[in-house]
C-alpha cells in the first residue's frame, strides 16, 4: 500500500510552487472519517483514496487535485459534509469533490451502451472542472486494478464494459494514453478472459528472446544517437494485450504476424533534436510511409505531441518508434490537463482562448485534417462544453444546446409533443416552460390534446427545430384565419355586385385571376385578401361586365354561375342575386313574409334575416348589411310570437285555440300565466304564411270576448 510520504515525495518532484501541506491535511482528515471502513480486499478503506492520490501524482497534477483525490469519497461514504470540507480545505477542493460525488451517482445500464458517445460527452460536460474527470479516471483505474475482489461475476463484466465504453475513450480523448491502455487491458481481461489469457501466454513464451531483442535495439540506438550528439532516453515497452488483440482482429492476423508488439520511445531535449533523431532512425531502417505521423507539427486535438513512425527493423520486423521531448513526455502523463492553469481563473481563460485560436489556425492552414467539421466539433465539445445532456424518463440521453428549455426538448422528441406541450417536470418537479435545462436533468413533458403552441415560446426556445416548428404552426393558424376572413370579405363584395362568390370560387376564371396575381392556387388568392394584400374589390372588378355588356349582365351572371336560379328558395327568402346561400331567421324578431326585412352577413358564412325595425338588427354593422327579399312563391310557414292579455274566464283557451284554427294557423306552443288581479297572459307561438295571414289571425283573436289586448312580440 502506498504511503502518504511517497505521494508527497512524488508531488514535490514536479510540483515546485504548490503548498503541499494541503495534501497532508487531506490525508489526516480522510483517515479520520473513513476510519473503520473496509475495502472488499480486506484492506482499510483509506487505501483506496491513497492509491487514487498516488495515480494523480503519477499524472503530475496539482496539490489541490491530489487533496481532492484523498477526499473524493468522503461526502458519499462518510458523515462529512460539503460545509465541513469548504471550511477546512476551501472552495476549489469542495467543488471538485462535489463534482466527483455527482458523477458517482450516475449509473448507466446496458441498454445505454449504444449511447456511449453521449454518456462520454455528458460526463465531460457535467464536470465544470477538468480535475473532476481526472479524479474520476484515477478512481476508476484503482477500482479496475482491484476488481478481482468483487465477488459478483456479472457485476465485474458490467463494470469492465462501462470502463471500456466510457472511461478508456475519455482518457484517450484527454490525451492520457497510459491510463487508456491500462483501463483497456484490465477490461479486456474481465470481458474476454479466454482471448486475454491466450495473448498473455503467447507474449510470455516470447518474453525471453524479446527482452534480449529490446536490449539490443536500445543499445544500438543509444550509440547512434550519441554519435550524432543527441542526448536521449530510450524506453522499450510491450503494447497492451488489448491493442494486440484488436490488431489481430482488425487485420485478420495471427499473433506471429503482429510484429510491433514492442514499441520504443526516444525522449530528447528539444524539438529540433526530435526531427534529427527521426532522420537518423529513418536512415537506419526503412520507414513504412503510411505509418509516419507528425503530431509535433500537427498535434492531436487533445494537444498530444510526438513523432510516430514504424520501420522495418534489424530482423525484418516492424518496430514502432515514438520520438518526443521531455516536456511532451511530461504532458502525456496528465494529458490535456497539463495545458490548464488552475492558479487564476483569468490565466486559464486566456490559455483556453489561445488554445482555441491555435486550433482554428490549425484547421485553416492544414489541408490534411480529414474532416475539419468533425474535428472542430470534437474539440468544441471537449474544451468548450456548450451543450447539456439530459435524460428522458426512460433513461435515454439527449443533447441540447446550453440554455435549451423543456419546449426545445419536447420538439426534439416529436413535433406533436412540442405542439401539445403544456408543462414539464424536471427531476419530478414542475418547472416553467422557459426553465433552463441542466446536464443530468430528468425531463418529462406534459401534453394535452387540445393544447397549441404559443407565440411567446419564440422568446425563449434555443433550438432551430423548436423555433421553426412553432413558426410553422403560427403561420398555418394565421393562414386559416385569413382564409375565412378573405372568404367573408369576398362573399360580401361579390354579392354587392350581384355575383355569387361561392359558385365562382371554383371556376376557371378564378384560377386565371389567381395566376394573374402570381398565386399557384385559388386558396392563396383568398388568403391574401384576408391578409389585406389584395382587396376583395380588386377581385370583383375582374368579374364585372364591361359597360357595353351591361344590358346582358343578367344573362352573363347566369352564365358565370353556370346554372339558372332555382324556382324557389327553400327558406322563403331570396338574397339578392343568389339562391344557394344559407339563410337563417333572427330568433329575436321572427320575421314573416310581408315584413320589411334586412339581411346580415354573419361570421358563419350565412345570412341572418331580421325585421328591418328589429333592435338587434339596428345595432349591427351596416357594412355587413345585405338586401334580401321574400320569395312570393313560398308556401312555407313562419313562427310568430303573440301575447294575449285577457280576463280569466272558463273556456278562454278553447276560444283562443278555436279562433286561431279557424284562420288555418297552427299553434306551436302555448303558455299561460294567471295574475293576481284576475287577468291572464297567454304567450303563444303560431305558424303563419305571411303578414296578411298574421293580420287575419290577430283581428280574429281581438274579437274574442274578454280579450283585452293582442300584441306581436319581437
Residues forming contacts to Mn ion in the complex (CB under 5 A) are: 73, 139
Apex 542 CA angle, 540 and 543, nearest 5: 70
CA 79, 81, 84, 88 dihedral sign is: positive
Contact 502, 580 (CB under 8 A): yes
Contact 357, 384 (CB under 8 A): no
* Closest-CA residue to 320 (of 330, 332, 306): 306
First-to-last CA distance in the chain? 104
| Closest chain position to Mn ion (CB) | 139
d(CA 156, CA 263): 30
CA distance 185 to 191: 10
Do you know the residue count of the chain?
714
CB of residue 140 to Mn ion, shortest distance in Å: 8
The closest alpha carbon to 242, from 329, 323, 116, 144, belongs to 144
In the complex, minimum distance from the CB of residue 375 to Mn ion, in angstroms, rounded to a whole number: 34
Nearer to Mn ion, 136 or 265 (CB): 136
Neighbours of 547 (CB within 10 A): 6
**Cα 696 to Cα 420: distance, rounded to the nearest angstrom:** 61
Classify burial at 77, counting beta carbons within 10 Å of its beta carbon; exposed 0-12, middle 13-18, buried 19 or more: middle
* Number of helices followed by number of strands (H, E) in the chain: 29, 21
**Non-local CB neighbours of 584 within 8 Å, separated by 6+ positions:** 602, 606, 607, 608, 609
Burial of 63 (0-12, 13-18, 19+ CB in 10 A): buried
Of 417, 387, 411, 420, nearest in space to 468 by CA: 411
Report the alpha-carbon distance of residue 192 to residue 169 in Å, rounded.
Answer: 19
> Got the DSSP string for 103-133?
HHT----GGGGGGHHHHHHHHHHH-SSHHHH
Backbone angles phi, psi at 249, to 5 degrees: -70, -50
Q: Is 140 helix (H, G, I), strand (E, B) or coil?
A: helix
Cβ proximity of 451 and 442 under 8 Å: no
CB atoms inside a 10 Å sphere around CB 128: 11
Q: Least distance from C-beta 184 to Mn ion, angstroms?
A: 20
With contact defined as beta carbons under 8 Å apart, do 281 and 228 qualify?
Answer: no
Residues 6+ apart with CB under 8 A from 454: none
In whole angstroms, give the CA distance from residue 482 to residue 497.
23
DSSP-derived 3-state class of residue 161: helix
The yes-or-no answer on residue 77 being catalytic is yes
In the complex, the smallest distance separating the C-beta of residue 13 from Mn ion, rounded to whole angstroms, is 25
Min CB(135)–Mn ion separation in Å: 9
C-alpha cell at 45: 478503506
Please tell me whether residue 646 adopts helix, strand or coil conformation: strand
Please indicate whether residue 76 is annotated as part of the active site. yes
Closest residue by Cα to residue 461 from 501, 417, 502, 404: 404
Q: Which of 58, 77, 580, 714 is catalytic?
A: 77
- Rounded distance between C-alpha atoms, residue 321 and residue 262, angstroms: 9
- Looking at the Cβ atoms of 69 and 418, the one nearer to Mn ion is 69
Contacts of 495 (CB under 8 A, 6+ apart): 501, 575, 576, 577, 578, 601, 626
Q: Which helix (H) or strand (E) holds 643?
A: strand 638-647
Distance CA(93)–CA(69), nearest Å, equals: 9
DSSP conformation class of 442: B
Q: What would the grid cell of residue 310 be?
A: 514504424
Tell me the longest C-alpha to C-alpha distance in the chain: 145
Which residues are within 8 A (CB) of 431 and not within 5 positions of it... i.e. 6 or more apart?
A: 406, 424, 425
Question: Which residues are part of the catalytic machinery?
Answer: 76-77
Amino acid at each position: 500500500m502506498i504511503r502518504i510520504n511517497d505521494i508527497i515525495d512524488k508531488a514535490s518532484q514536479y510540483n515546485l510552487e504548490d503548498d503541499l501541506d494541503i495534501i497532508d491535511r487531506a490525508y489526516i482528515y480522510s483517515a479520520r472519517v473513513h476510519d473503520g471502513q473496509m475495502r472488499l480486499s480486506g484492506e482499510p478503506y483509506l487505501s483506496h483514496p491513497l492509491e487514487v492520490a498516488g495515480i494523480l501524482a503519477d499524472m503530475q497534477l496539482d496539490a489541490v487535485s491530489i487533496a481532492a483525490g484523498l477526499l473524493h469519497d468522503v461526502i458519499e461514504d462518510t458523515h462529512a459534509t460539503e460545509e465541513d470540507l469548504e471550511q477546512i480545505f476551501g472552495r476549489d477542493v469542495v467543488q471538485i469533490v462535489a463534482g466527483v460525488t455527482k458523477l458517482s451517482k450516475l449509473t448507466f445500464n446496458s441498454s445505454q451502451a449504444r449511447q456511449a458517445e453521449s454518456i462520454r460527452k455528458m460526463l465531460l460536460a457535467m464536470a465544470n472542472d477538468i480535475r473532476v474527470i481526472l479524479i474520476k479516471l484515477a478512481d476508476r483505474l484503482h477500482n479496475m486494478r482491484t476488481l478481482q475482489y468483487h465477488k459478483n461475476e456479472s457485476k465485474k463484466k458490467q463494470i469492465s464494459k462501462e470502463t471500456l465504453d466510457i472511461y478508456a475513450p475519455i482518457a484517450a480523448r484527454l490525451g492520457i494514453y497510459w491510463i487508456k491502455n491500462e483501463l483497456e487491458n484490465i477490461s479486456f481481461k474481465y470481458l474476454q478472459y479466454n482471448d486475454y489469457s491466450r495473448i498473455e501466454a503467447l507474449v510470455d513464451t516470447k518474453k525471453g528472446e524479446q527482452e534480449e531483442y529490446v536490449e539490443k535495439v536500445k543499445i544500438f540506438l543509444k550509440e547512434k544517437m550519441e554519435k550524432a550528439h543527441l542526448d536521449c532516453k530510450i524506453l522499450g515497452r510491450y503494447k497492451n494485450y488489448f491493442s494486440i488483440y484488436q490488431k489481430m482482429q482488425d487485420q485478420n492476423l495471427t499473433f506471429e504476424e503482429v510484429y510491433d508488439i514492442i514499441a520504443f520511445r526516444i525522449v530528447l531535449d528539444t524539438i529540433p533534436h526530435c526531427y534529427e533523431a527521426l532522420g537518423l532512425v529513418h536512415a537506419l531502417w526503412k520507414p513504412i510511409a503510411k505509418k509516419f505521423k507528425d503530431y509535433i507539427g500537427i498535434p492531436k486535438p487533445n494537444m498530444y505531441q510526438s513523432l510516430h513512425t514504424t520501420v522495418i527493423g534489424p530482423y525484418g520486423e516492424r518496430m514502432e518508434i515514438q520520438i518526443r521531448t521531455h516536456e511532451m513526455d511530461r504532458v502525456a502523463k496528465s494529458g490535456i490537463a497539463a495545458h490548464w492553469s488552475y492558479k487564476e481563473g483569468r490565466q486559464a481563460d486566456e490559455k483556453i482562448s489561445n488554445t482555441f485560436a491555435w486550433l482554428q489556425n490549425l484547421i485553416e492552414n492544414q489541408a490534411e485534417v480529414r474532416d475539419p467539421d468533425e474535428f472542430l466539433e470534437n474539440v468544441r465539445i471537449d474544451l468548450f462544453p456548450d451543450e447539456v445532456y439530459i435524460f428522458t424518463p426512460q433513461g435515454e440521453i439527449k443533447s441540447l444546446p446550453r440554455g435549451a428549455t423543456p419546449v426545445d426538448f419536447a420538439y426534439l422528441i416529436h413535433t406533436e409533443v412540442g405542439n401539445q406541450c403544456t408543462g414539464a417536470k424536471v427531476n419530478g418537479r414542475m418547472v416553467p416552460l422557459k426553465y433552463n435545462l441542466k446536464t443530468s436533468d430528468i425531463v418529462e413533458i406534459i401534453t394535452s390534446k387540445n393544447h397549441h403552441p404559443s407565440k411567446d415560446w419564440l422568446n425563449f426556445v434555443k433550438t432551430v427545430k423548436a423555433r421553426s416548428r412553432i413558426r410553422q404552426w403560427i403561420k398555418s393558424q394565421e393562414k386559416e384565419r385569413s382564409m375565412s376572413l378573405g372568404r367573408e370579405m369576398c362573399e360580401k363584395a361579390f354579392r354587392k355586385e350581384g355575383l355569387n362568390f361561392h359558385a365562382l370560387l371554383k371556376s376557371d376564371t378564378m384560377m386565371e385571376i389567381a395566376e394573374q396575381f402570381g398565386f399557384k392556387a385559388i386558396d392563396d388568392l383568398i388568403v391574401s385578401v384576408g391578409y389585406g394584400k389584395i382587396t376583395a374589390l380588386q377581385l370583383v372588378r375582374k368579374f364585372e361586365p364591361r359597360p357595353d355588356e351591361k344590358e346582358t349582365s343578367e344573362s352573363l351572371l347566369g352564365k358565370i354561375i353556370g346554372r339558372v336560379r332555382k324556382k324557389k328558395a327553400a327558406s322563403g327568402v331570396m338574397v339578392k342575386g343568389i339562391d344557394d346561400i344559407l339563410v337563417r331567421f333572427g330568433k329575436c324578431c321572427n320575421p314573416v313574409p310581408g315584413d320589411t326585412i334586412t339581411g346580415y352577413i354573419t361570421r358563419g358564412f350565412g345570412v341572418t334575416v331580421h325585421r328591418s325595425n328589429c333592435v338587434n338588427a339596428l345595432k349591427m354593422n351596416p357594412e355587413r348589411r345585405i338586401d334580401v327579399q321574400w320569395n312570393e312563391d313560398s308556401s312555407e310557414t313562419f313562427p310568430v310570437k303573440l301575447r294575449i292579455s285577457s280576463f280569466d274566464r272558463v273556456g278562454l283557451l278553447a276560444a283562443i285555440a278555436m279562433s286561431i284554427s279557424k284562420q288555418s294557423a297552427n299553434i306551436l306552443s302555448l303558455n299561460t300565466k294567471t295574475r293576481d288581479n284576475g287577468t291572464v297572459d297567454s304567450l303563444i307561438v303560431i305558424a303563419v304564411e305571411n303578414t296578411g295571414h298574421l293580420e287575419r289571425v290577430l283581428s280574429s283573436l281581438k274579437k274574442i270576448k274578454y280579450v283585452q289586448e293582442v300584441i306581436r312580440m319581437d
